[in-house]
Structure 1
């Protein structure tokens, strides 16, 4: 299920971060969100253990609650005195209109204050594709479309800055970036940074390295730890970053993007390798009951075929059958 990260004012979570008590999953999302907005990170860290400082600053600047409450009490007492000594007169239609207008303006102002404060303290959203889920897409305000693979997250700002469009990726995603020559689109993924003006490409940061495959256009692929260590990649180029070492190679996997395209090509491919592609594409776990079945070879092309159709095509020539239990699939010899 696709979710947005909760930005509820939960000081318990922030307290856990400052005290080092966060779980690994909580810490990963929290730090990723701070990475997208350094000023937010500085505010949280600077607040130390006095967690109210960051929250109350804007509110105190824009709204004096004690003064407002004193005025309310004063008005209540004043109204009681009027009620005690005088009869209540019916307001004229004109006065009623102005009171209604004033109430609307006050409510609008309070709503604007709450929205401004909330956006300042929680400027980012998180788009999630859960584990074992099919890929999910999101269209950002600038028109860019990002498709997440299973078990991946995208942290992005509620509003892009004037000079750049910066997001954070955890896991794997395919990016189709809307062109804007005046505002580069920048993706942070682990210790890598990918910078583009408008193109389409895949980033895989789900393993111990970061991989980039360019589908169209041109991207700049660099190390955050060593900014001068960078590569310019064009359509068809594939590169990886591991321990600040960039390497440009030729991709030899015809099915690298099958998780998104649902298109697969197998040429004398062993069933063990076929299973790896299907696992990645359909978020399943395929096993073989007999070890020798892994070495059988398959020749076929598939385009948006349902998984059951592919499994039947795999099994039929070799007199095999398969059993499904949730996302677990066992392939074995027919009795």
Structure 2
């Protein structure tokens, strides 16, 4: 799918994010986002800039110019262990985009250095991008992060302060090395995830952030709300509704990119279908509402979509119909 509509620039994206775009501009931007994974990633990166800049602007009075140059220097001089930074889009000179651009460069360094946790003159930061593949990254404390495709992780070269802070965009599975004296804290899309040692998945796409816990206890906070998640629980944070009530999960579908395994444990069929669409890039719909919540218990590991659909068909005695628009279960 290619995009042939109006040019999409930074000014137009900011108008869209602040709700001042015209209906025609909204439609053009949404078509542009849907046209390719590269456009989607570019929009997600831009939205992260905007969301983080608003958070920082509302909580801190910053020396923007000084922070800008400190962060630029660190990201460009972090040594051989640093992943090569992706090209940065050049912002235009409009007032509001200028503010967003300045605060983007401020937000990461400010988050990592607030409350005297770090000496601004000595700490370097590492920026890792997974691009179009999954990537495993070991952090200074031994924690292991498995990043899904099109994700970004930024963290200090050393965890020398009272916390272990990182920022991220996209999706990643964390196995955090336990340290009760130094909490591990993630900032993502205006949400704070706080742990001392556990494993969990964080996914932030399309303005929604989801946290699912596999082991240990994870605290998730957004604005003035927070919730503790135990193993087998998840929570969703959206721009419209904020931090929602936590829920229990059935099985482990969330980190297929890391395990190559879909573990169903009384998992409703509609949840499995959602994961299959994401994992295989398919378009599967449930044509009969009566089967949407039927539970399935099985494990799919490195199987083709056709093999998975055969199991589903035989388990529920349902039909799998393929058409030009996708696959229908009924």
TM-score interval, smaller chain? 0.5 to 0.7
Question: Gaps spanning 5+ residues in structure 2: where?
Answer: 1-9, 15-41, 74-119
**Partner of 1:141: helix, strand, or coil?**
coil
**Partner of 2:283: helix, strand, or coil?**
strand
The residue correspondences of 1:32-43 to structure 2 (distance < 5 A) are: none
Question: Gaps spanning 5+ residues in structure 1: where?
Answer: 1-15, 57-118
1:250-273 Cα shifts (integer Å, max 9, x gaps)? 224434425244123286965x75
Partner of 1:304: 301
Partner of 1:204: 203
- Which deviates more, 211-220 or 257-266? 257-266
The answer to whether the 8 Å contact 1:238/1:251 transfers is yes
Structure 1: distance between partners of 2:266 and 2:229: 28
**Number of residues of Structure 1 aligned to a counterpart in Structure 2:** 236
* Pairing partner for 1:276 from 274, 277, 283: 274
* Pairing partner for 2:234 from 238, 247, 250: 238
Structure 1: distance between partners of 2:208 and 2:185: 18
The answer to whether the 8 Å contact 1:311/1:322 transfers is no
The answer to whether the 8 Å contact 2:251/2:266 transfers is no
Give the superposed CA RMSD.
Answer: 4.8
Q: What is the TM-score normalised by the length of structure 1?
A: 0.53
Structure 2: distance between partners of 1:321 and 1:191: 42
The answer to whether the 8 Å contact 1:298/1:314 transfers is no
Partner of 1:110: none
The residue correspondences of 1:185-200 to structure 2 (distance < 5 A) are: 185-200=184-199
Greater relative contact order: 1 or 2 (C-alpha under 8 angstroms, separation 6 or more)?
1
Structure 2: distance between partners of 1:54 and 1:268: 45
The answer to whether the 8 Å contact 2:232/2:249 transfers is no
Partner of 1:157: 156
The answer to whether the 8 Å contact 1:130/1:150 transfers is yes
Structure 2: distance between partners of 1:54 and 1:152: 20
Partner of 1:247: 244
In structure 2, relative to structure 1, the CA distance for the partners of 1:249 and 1:230 (3 Å cut) is closer
The answer to whether the 8 Å contact 2:131/2:151 transfers is yes
